[in-house]
């Protein structure tokens, strides 16, 4: 089968640039490898469950990319099965750029970061907007009981592929909670 992420995103122009810069042979081996990366394993599920934010990219009707930060409690991006993710969308700035883009082009990319461990997971798929009340089980699964606002819509993402990226150039960053956890051992070391 080969690596679905590489097969999907390595365009002819990207392959030409890879050849010109000496990385094509290595990436062709990855593209043809047995690791399909088109279904999430327990490793990806655990990583996703620990995230409290991610970046989501969509494309406008005339080809402009749009990137938006999404955040919530740890694990707000739910795994429905090895090929499906979902999350609740609450009222925000009311621009509806992502929702509008997805109404015309359902392609989406998610970028999930673990800054302290210098790890990132890239996911591509097809997003579908589901109105609350259509699927009460899905509503219950994605809703945050501590959120005061009503769910405006649910984003369901059908996975096409994913890829783990190298840690190079990821600057470690820490949340306040992570710093609080580290402080006792730092104080002991001093």
> Could you tell me the residue ranges of all domains in the chain?
1-37, 38-189
Alpha carbons 166 and 90: distance in angstroms, whole number = 32
pLDDT, position 162: 95
Give the pTM.
0.89
- CATH architecture classification, 38-189: Roll (2.30)
pLDDT, one tens digit per residue, over 128-175 is: 999 999 999 999 999 988 888 889 999 999 999 999 988 888 998 988
- What dihedral do alpha carbons 138, 141, 142, 147 form, nearest 10°? 130
Q: Is 179 exposed, middle or buried (0-12, 13-18, 19+ CB in 10 A)?
A: exposed
């Amino acid at each position: 089968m080969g690596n679905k992420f590489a097969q999907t995103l390595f365009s002819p122009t990207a392959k030409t640039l890879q050849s010109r810069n000496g990385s094509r042979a290595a990436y062709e081996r990855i593209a043809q490898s047995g690791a399909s990366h088109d279904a999430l394993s327990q490793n990806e599920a655990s990583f996703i469950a620990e995230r409290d934010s991610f970046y989501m990219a969509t494309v406008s009707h005339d080809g402009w990319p749009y990137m938006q930060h999404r955040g919530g409690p740890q694990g707000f991006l739910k795994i429905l099965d090895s090929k499906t993710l979902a999350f609740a969308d609450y009222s925000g700035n009311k621009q509806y750029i992502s929702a509008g883009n997805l109404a015309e082009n359902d392609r989406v990319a998610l970028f999930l970061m673990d800054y302290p461990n210098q790890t990132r997971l890239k996911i591509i798929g097809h997003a579908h907007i589901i109105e609350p009340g259509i699927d009460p089980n899905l509503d219950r699964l994605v809703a945050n009981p501590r959120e005061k606002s009503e769910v405006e819509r649910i984003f369901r993402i059908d996975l096409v592929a994913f890829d783990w990226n190298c840690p190079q150039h990821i600057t470690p960053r820490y949340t306040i909670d992570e710093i609080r956890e580290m402080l006792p051992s730092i104080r002991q070391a001093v």
